Amino acid sequence: MGPSEIITSIPEKYQSALSSTELRFFPSEIHKVEDFGVEFEVRLCPALQEKLEPKAEARATSAAATGKPKPFLPPYSPNLYVGDLALEDEDGTSEYIVLLNKFSVVPHHFLLVTKEFQPQTSPLFPSDLVQIYQLLLAARQENRHFIAFYNCGPNSGASQSHKHVQFIEVANGGPPVEKLTRTANLEVSGKPFAIPSLPYANHVYRLPALSTDSTPAELRRILFPPLLSLLDLVISTVRHDPDYPSGLPSYNIIMTLEHIHMIPRWHETYILEDSDTTINVNSLGYAGMLLAKSNSELEQIKKVGPGKILRGVGVESVHDLQVAGLSLEVDGL
pLDDT value at position 57?
44
CA distance 249 to 57: 18
Does the structure show a pLDDT above 50 at 257?
A: yes
Q: Closest by alpha carbon to 9, among 144, 114, 172, 118? A: 144
pLDDT value at position 181?
96
The DSSP-derived string for 91-110 is: TEEEEEEEEE-SEESSTT-E
Question: What DSSP element (H or E) covers 323?
Answer: helix 319-330
Torsion, CA 279, CA 280, CA 286, CA 291, rounded to 10: -70
Structural domain includes residue 64: no
The DSSP-derived string for 238-254 is: HHT-TTSPSSSPEEEEE
Catalytic residue among 109, 164, 259, 261, which?
A: 164
- What percent of the chain clears pLDDT 70, i.e. is strictly above it? 91
CA distance 32 to 187: 31
Structural domain includes residue 56: no
Structural domain includes residue 63: no
pLDDT value at position 58?
43
The predicted-structure confidence for 209-221, as pLDDT tens digits, reads as follows 888 888 999 999 9
Catalytic residue at 267?
Answer: no
What is the number of other CB atoms lying within 10 angstroms of the CB of residue 257?
A: 17
CATH number at residue 222: 3.30.428.70
Structural domain includes residue 62: no
Structural domain includes residue 193: yes
The CA-atom distances, in angstroms, between 44 and each of 91, 109, 150, 272 are 44, 17, 23, 16
Task: Count the residues in the chain.
Answer: 333
Band of the pLDDT at 188, cuts 50, 70, 90?
confident
- State the total domains in the chain: 1
Q: What are the helix (H) ranges across 118-215?
A: 126-141, 176-182
CA 32 to chain CA mean position, Å:
21
Q: Closest by alpha carbon to 80, among 96, 102, 95, 53? A: 102
CA distance 114 to 108: 19
Domain that holds residue 16: 3-50+72-331
The predicted-structure confidence for 125-179, as pLDDT tens digits, reads as follows 999 999 999 999 999 999 999 999 999 999 999 989 999 999 999 998 899 999 9
pLDDT value at position 326?
54
Using the Cα atoms of residue 229, residue 235, residue 236 and residue 238 in order, give the sign of their dihedral: positive
CA 306 to chain CA mean position, Å:
17
Band of the pLDDT at 325, cuts 50, 70, 90?
low
The predicted-structure confidence for 103-124, as pLDDT tens digits, reads as follows 999 999 999 999 999 999 999 9
pLDDT value at position 187?
75
Structural domain includes residue 315: yes
CA 132 to chain CA mean position, Å:
11
CA distance 6 to 313: 34
Structural domain includes residue 65: no
CA distance 300 to 274: 10
The predicted-structure confidence for 305-314, as pLDDT tens digits, reads as follows 999 999 999 9
Does the structure show a pLDDT above 70 at 28?
A: yes
Structural domain includes residue 126: yes
* Cα Rg, the chain, nearest whole Å: 20
Using the Cα atoms of residue 48, residue 49, residue 51 and residue 56 in order, give the sign of their dihedral: positive
The predicted-structure confidence for 198-254, as pLDDT tens digits, reads as follows 999 999 999 998 888 889 999 999 999 999 999 999 999 999 999 998 889 999 999
